[in-house]
């Protein structure tokens, strides 16, 4: 695997997406894991987008910062920075006891990740 291959990044992003989506279908969906994998999927998809455009990016999990970098390089995603920040925050909070996201927050995280996934896959010419 080449760390500079956007298709490989998209493949890893899709794996996180599949985990998050399948967890949501459980009888008792684990909101913590859903938020984490939704954020990871969106992060890897945004990084794939940047790689495809030959844009270097910092080591960060901040989706709004990655999206801003996309827009600075002419990739107009239209994503809400507030929603991306929400997804980033849910994923970070989900990693520690006492701040477990609600099922509704998990659903929202999945929807945000879904919009990132759809945009990037279309932009990369993937089905």
Distance between the two ends of the chain, CA-based, in angstroms?
Answer: 21
CATH class of 6-123: mainly alpha
- Cα separations (Å) of 95 from 7, 22, 85, 115? 28, 19, 16, 23
- CB count within 10 Å of CB 88 equals 23
pLDDT at 68 over 70: yes
Give me the residue label for tokens 């827009």: 71
In the predicted model, what is the mean pLDDT of residues 50-58? 94
Burial 42-56 (b: 16+ CB within 10 A, else e): bbbbbbbbbbbeebe
pLDDT at 94 over 70: no
What is the distance between the alpha carbons of residues 103 and 32, in angstroms, rounded to a whole number?
9
- Cα separations (Å) of 46 from 4, 100, 126? 13, 25, 14
Pairwise pLDDT comparison (87 vs 3), residue with the higher score: 87
pLDDT of the residue at 127: 82
Whether the model clears a pTM of 0.85, i.e. scores above it, the answer is yes
Pairwise pLDDT comparison (96 vs 10), residue with the higher score: 10
In the predicted model, what is the mean pLDDT of residues 25-35? 95
């Amino acid at each position: 695997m080449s760390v500079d291959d956007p298709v490989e990044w998209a493949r890893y992003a899709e794996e996180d997406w599949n985990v998050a989506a399948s967890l949501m279908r459980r009888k008792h969906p684990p909101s913590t894991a859903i938020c984490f994998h939704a954020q990871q999927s969106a992060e890897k998809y945004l990084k794939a987008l940047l790689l495809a455009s030959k844009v270097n990016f910092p080591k960060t999990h901040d989706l709004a910062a990655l999206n801003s970098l996309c827009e600075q390089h002419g990739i107009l995603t239209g994503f809400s920075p507030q929603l991306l920040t929400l997804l980033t925050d849910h994923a970070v909070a989900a990693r520690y006891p006492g701040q477990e996201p609600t099922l509704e927050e998990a659903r929202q995280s999945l929807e945000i990740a879904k919009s990132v996934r759809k945009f990037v896959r279309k932009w990369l010419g993937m089905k």
